[in-house]
Amino acid sequence: MEQLKRVHWGFIGCGEATEKKSGPAFSMIEGSDIVGVMSRDKEKVVSYAKRHHIPRWYTDPMLLIGDEDVNAIYIATPPSSHATYAIMAMKAGKPVYVEKPMAASYEDCVRINKISEETGVPCFVAYYRRYLPYFQKVKQLVDNRVIGNIINVQLRFAQPPRALDYNLSKDMPWRLQANISGGGYFYDLAPHQLDLLQHYFGVITEAEGCRSNRGGLYGVEDSVSACFRFADGIPGSASWCFVAHESAMEDRVEIIGDRGMICFSIYTYEPIALHNEHGREEIHIENPPYVQLPIITKVVEHLQGKAICTCDSISATPTNWVMDRILHKL
């Protein structure tokens, strides 16, 4: 598609992620602004547009996509609608930046890629951790072989139930509705973790898992374990528990090499710990206030022909494949 001199964004969805992680970043980048925002909740979208000084608001996604002044679409809705909106936008000739996970299933990711290829319109995915300084430092350590050859990768994540998990009613949060989210908290939190591991070590080509509901607080899985293998043969394992006792809280990735180990977290940003023959070293890395600013900058520059953003729908699809394999959806 043709380069865009200025990127005029239209938002589909205006939830929590757009308030705290992404929304303000779109207006902080040279050559980028927000023209319109859409939500089916009129009161919510009017409030959002007013608070963020966005000139137009819509309650119909077709009207936003059809707005001639909008030339790029940001999709920040629950995963089950990602494919529909992405395909609508690309068929209208408008590039897409979609929240993670890319879709609620691997099959939907394939559909998005097919339309992107047919139309020549790009789709980018908000795996913004790839572009954060903290995680880029981990990649630098791996690439510079400071711990030698990688032998094994291990991921552990455990957290207690959230307050709302104890008081579920007919208004079940969408993250706990598998037909909307793709599959519980695992499908919401594991994407960032699995995408990063593949960013570091290449595509996962084998994945198996077991899932269980141990807490009985809701219908979807609350405990998941998995083993997997990367294309170059590195084996890995992971466990997730969303009903753990507070004493078991953990957010840890261990990269084990033949000359040391790197430990870091995905969500808590604990200092990166480097273990080698010299002992243990802590590396402190700060991230920007708006965590999606680096990747959105790269997306805008890509659309303007100034840079290449590699976090596209093709590179994001393997994460959905791995999750669906782990949950036995494939």
198-223 residue pLDDT tens: 999 999 999 999 999 999 999 999 99
Alpha-carbon span 186 to 241, nearest angstrom: 9
Q: Per-residue pLDDT for 103 more than 70?
A: yes
> Total domain count for the chain?
2
Q: Kindly give, in sequence order, each residue whose CB lies less than 8 Å from that of residue 213, ignoring residues fewer than 6 positions away.
A: 219, 220, 221, 222, 223
Write out pLDDT tens, residues 110-168: 999 999 999 999 999 999 999 999 999 999 999 999 999 999 999 999 999 998 898 77
> Are 47 and 189 found together in one domain?
no
Using DSSP bridges, classify how beta strands 235-241 and 96-98 pair: parallel, antiparallel or unpaired: unpaired
| Helix H or strand E encompassing 207 | strand 204-212
CATH number for the domain harbouring residue 96: 3.40.50.720
Q: Per-residue pLDDT for 95 more than 80?
A: yes
CB 123 within 8 A of CB 312: yes
Quote the pTM value.
0.94
> Are 279 and 150 found together in one domain?
yes
Encoded tokens for 300: 């805008």
> Are 160 and 281 found together in one domain?
yes
Q: Which domain holds residue 212?
A: 133-287
Is position 248 within any domain? yes
CATH number for the domain harbouring residue 197: 3.30.360.10
| Helix H or strand E encompassing 83 | helix 82-91
> Are 91 and 145 found together in one domain?
no
Encoded tokens for 155: 């991921």
pLDDT for the residue 24:
84
pLDDT band at residue 15 using 50, 70 and 90 as cut-offs: confident
For residues 175-192, average pLDDT: 95
Encoded tokens for 151: 């032998």
> Are 157 and 283 found together in one domain?
yes
Is position 93 within any domain? yes
What percentage of the chain reaches a pLDDT higher than 90?
90
